[in-house]
């Protein structure tokens, strides 16, 4: 698990470097929000188009070896940036194609390595690592771009990915999958449908954020490319604290509860950020606010990952995760297109509202099931209620933990 954690940190650090550097290059070269949105959409499309394949690959091949190859491949396909900055469009598409394979394989490997009762804690540690990567990658992306341009960004990016590939070398306690073995069918519980709806709302909000964030920092706050990297990166500080909390104190909280309350908190805190310029544009204030909003973001992601990893057998986890990532990409793409086509200050308010609505939807769903289960338990003479998607049973009490 430690080597997987290190490889994940390296891959996500490189990804954050490009997520900061390439949109800034695109926006500064065109001055167009719409053009920046289209470039981001181009980078997301492969994740949707390849999703039917990525899940099958993650369930079929040796997952550690797949992650090793992906890390090396990401370093290779970014090389065209050295020839021309305009190649950022091509590089984003190629990087997205490889990332589409990385995410399902990485999260499915957790299901191979970690027992069910420890997966929430494991996801918390991965989330903490992801926020270390975010802090480091965002800072490197913005700072290296300002100092040495794209060539320096690529040199450091490639070196970090090589370290990630080395971490995946050697043996993992995972059985190899024979190509001739028939995979179990993927059956999705109806209890996951509300999670899918909530996830879609959150991803539409994320798409709006990705497009409107750069103009918000550059124009509304008056910060430069370093400010873009700084504010995206410092979310990792709050995320680190939340990741360790999920891995320790909150690991017995049901994943559904983490997802729901995390989404509500994220939306409310986002609304405070977007309306902050009415009072001040001091960068230090927004550093503090972005640190704080990083915590509920990690709580949401940890809860979601635990729900999905436990919803199907381990041999089908890759396909379920690939389907979830495809849904996330479609929602994010829709949000980007809306944000690029519509010039309205209300878009950032919509971003905050969608998070609150997603969390509220799941909280209402969980409340309805609690009421129904209590009624059934009374009618059945006190029998334990049936678990729903995203719940965990407290073996000492025989009751669901929500």
More confident residue, 26 or 194: 194
Alpha-carbon distances of 345 from 91, 117, 153, 213, 335, rounded to whole Å: 31, 44, 33, 12, 15
Strand partners, 399: 394
The reported pLDDT for the residue numbered 178 is 45
Q: Is the pLDDT of residue 363 over 70?
A: yes
Rounded CA-CA distance 35/208 in Å is 14
Q: What is the dihedral of CA 379, 384, 387, 391, to 10 degrees?
A: 130
- Report whether 92 contacts 39 (CB < 8 A): yes
Q: How many residues does the structure list for the chain?
A: 402
- pLDDT, averaged across the chain: 80
Q: Is the pLDDT of residue 124 over 50?
A: yes
Region 38-65: what's the mean pLDDT?
A: 77
Radius of gyration of the chain from its Cα atoms, rounded to whole angstroms: 21
Domains of the chain: 2-172+190-366 (1.20.1250.20)
Q: Quick: pLDDT tens for 75-96.
A: 998 888 887 767 777 888 888 8
- Token readout for 230 is 């700084």
Q: Is the pLDDT of residue 398 over 60?
A: no
Kindly state the percentage of the chain with pLDDT values over 70. Answer: 85
The reported pLDDT for the residue numbered 243 is 77
The reported pLDDT for the residue numbered 163 is 92
More confident residue, 338 or 401: 338
Q: Is the pLDDT of residue 205 over 90?
A: yes
Q: Quick: pLDDT tens for 308-320.
A: 877 777 667 777 7
- Report whether 327 contacts 203 (CB < 8 A): yes
More confident residue, 85 or 262: 262
- Report whether 264 contacts 363 (CB < 8 A): yes
More confident residue, 293 or 103: 293
Rounded CA-CA distance 23/219 in Å is 15
Region 329-343: what's the mean pLDDT?
A: 85
DSSP secondary structure letters along 146-202: HHHHHHHHHHHHHHHHHHHHHHT-S--S-PPPPTTSPPPP----GGGHHHHHHHHHH
Strands 392-394 and 399-401: antiparallel
Q: Which of 61-75, 109-123, 137-151, 326-340 is predicted with the least confidence, judged by mean pLDDT?
A: 109-123
Region 331-352: what's the mean pLDDT?
A: 86
Give the largest Cα separation in the chain, rounded: 73
């Amino acid at each position: 698990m430690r080597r997987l954690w290190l490889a994940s940190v390296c891959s996500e650090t490189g990804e954050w470097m490009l997520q900061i550097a390439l949109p800034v290059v695109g926006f500064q070269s065109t001055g167009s929000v719409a053009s920046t949105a289209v470039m981001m959409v181009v980078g997301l499309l492969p994740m949707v188009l390849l999703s039917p394949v990525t899940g099958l690959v993650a369930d079929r091949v040796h997952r550690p070896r797949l992650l090793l190859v992906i890390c090396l491949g990401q370093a290779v396909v970014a090389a065209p940036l050295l020839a021309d900055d305009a190649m950022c469009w091509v590089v984003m598409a190629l990087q997205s194609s490889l990332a589409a394979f990385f995410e399902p394989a990485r999260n499915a490997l957790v299901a191979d390595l970690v027992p069910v009762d420890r997966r929430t804690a494991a996801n918390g540690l991965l989330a903490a690592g992801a926020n270390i990567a975010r802090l480091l990658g965002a800072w490197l992306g913005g700072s290296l771009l300002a100092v040495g341009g794209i060539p320096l960004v690529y040199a450091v990016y490639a070196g970090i990915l090589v370290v990630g590939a080395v971490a995946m070398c050697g043996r993992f306690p995972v059985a190899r999958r024979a190509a001739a073995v028939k995979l179990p069918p993927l059956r999705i519980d109806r209890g996951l449908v509300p999670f899918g709806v909530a996830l879609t709302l959150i991803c539409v909000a994320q798409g709006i954020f990705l497009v409107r964030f750069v103009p918000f920092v550059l124009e509304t706050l008056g910060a430069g490319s370093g400010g873009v990297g700084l504010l995206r990166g410092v979310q990792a500080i709050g995320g680190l604290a939340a990741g360790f909390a999920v891995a320790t104190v909150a690991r017995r909280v049901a994943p559904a509860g983490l997802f729901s309350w995390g989404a509500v908190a994220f939306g409310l805190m986002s609304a405070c950020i977007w309306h902050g310029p009415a009072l001040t544009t001091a960068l230090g204030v927004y550093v503090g606010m972005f640190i704080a909003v990083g915590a509920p973001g990690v709580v949401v992601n940890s809860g979601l990952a635990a729900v999905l990893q436990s919803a199907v057998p381990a041999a089908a986890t890759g396909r379920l995760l690939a389907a979830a990532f495809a849904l996330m990409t479609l929602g994010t793409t829709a949000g980007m297109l809306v944000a690029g086509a519509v010039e309205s200050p209300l878009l950032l308010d919509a971003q905050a509202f969608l998070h609150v609505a997603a969390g509220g939807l799941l909280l209402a769903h969980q409340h309805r099931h609690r009421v129904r289960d209590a009624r059934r338990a009374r009618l059945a003479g006190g029998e334990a209620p049936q678990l729903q998607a995203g719940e965990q049973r407290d073996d000492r009490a025989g009751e669901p933990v929500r």
